[in-house]
Copies of this chain bind each other. A is one copy, B any other.
Amino acid sequence: MFYTIDILGTIAFAISGVLIAINKKMDLFGILIIAFVTAVGGGTLRDLLIGETPVSWMKDMTFTYTIIASAIFAIIFRSKINYLRTSLFLFDTIGIGLYTVVGIDKGINAGLHPIICIALGTMTASFGGVIRDILCNEIPVIFRKEIYATACILGGITYFLLSELPIENNWVFIIAGIVVILTRLLAVKFKIALPTIYKS
C-alpha cells in the first residue's frame, strides 16, 4: 500500500519537475536531472536523517524506471498537458499529499515521536520541490504566500488524531493524504494565507 503511494508520488513529482524544467528551456539531461531531484529529493533527506542508507531509490530500481518513464511521457505529451501552470500546481499538490503520508509512516516505523514524524512527512513532501526551485532559480514554492507546509502539518495532525479512533490504519493514511491535498487546493482557491508577524 505504501509502496504504491510512494510510486504514485514519484510520478506526480517527476512530471512536475519536467514541466518546470521545460518552462526554463533546459536541455534533455537537465530535464531528467530536475525530474529526478524533484521526485527523490524529499525522500533522500528523510532517509539520511533517520539513517536508512543506502537511500531507498538506490536500492530499488523501480523508482529510477518510474522517473525516466514519467519524464519521457511528460516530454512527449507536453503540448497535451495544457495550461502548464495549472497542471504543475495539481501534480505538485498530489505529490505533497502522497509523500507526507509516506514520510509519517517511515517516522513511525523508526519509532520517532509524533511531532518528529509530522516534521519528517513535511520534509519528504516539500524538500524535493525546494531543491527543484533553487536549481531552477525560482523562489522556493514553500516560502510563497500559498499554504504549503501548513497543509502537510494539518494532514499529519489529522493522522495522529484519527489513529486514536477505531479506524483501519490504511483509511487513516488515505484521509490524512486527502486533508493535505484539499487544504492546499482550498487555500489557493480562496486565497487563504497565514497571518504575517510584523515588528510592532
Residues of A within 8 A of B (CB): 22-23, 25-31, 33, 44, 48-51, 53-55, 58-59, 61, 64, 75, 78-79, 84, 110, 112-113, 115-116, 120, 135, 137, 139-140, 142-143, 145, 149-150, 153, 193-200
- Whether the Cβ atoms of A115 and B61 lie closer than 8 Å is yes
B-chain residues with CB within 8 Å of residue A112 when the two chains form the complex: 54, 58-59
- What is the minimal beta-carbon distance from A96 to any residue of chain B, in angstroms? 14
Instruction: Determine the chain B residues whose CB is within 8 A of the CB of A27 once the complex forms.
Output: 145, 193-197
Give the nearest-CB partner of A53 in chain B: B51
9 closest cross-chain pairs (CB), A and B: A51-B53, A27-B194, A79-B200, A50-B54, A25-B196, A27-B196, A58-B116, A28-B194, A29-B150
Cβ contact within 8 Å between A53 and B61: no
Q: CB-CB < 8 A to A28: which residues of B?
A: 194-197
A64 lies within 8 A of B116 (CB): yes
Question: Which chain B residue lies CB-closest to A79?
Answer: B200
- B61 close to A55 (CB less than 8 A): no
Q: How far is the CA of A22 from the CA of B135 in the complex (A)?
A: 25
Say whether B29 contacts A194, CB under 8 Å: yes
Q: List 15 A-B contacts (CB under 8 A).
A: A23-B199, A26-B197, A27-B193, A27-B195, A29-B194, A31-B197, A48-B48, A51-B54, A54-B112, A58-B116, A61-B116, A64-B113, A78-B197, A79-B199, A79-B200
Q: A143 near B135 (CB under 8 angstroms)?
A: yes
Please indicate the chain B residues that have their CB under 8 angstroms from the CB of A33 in the complex: 142, 149
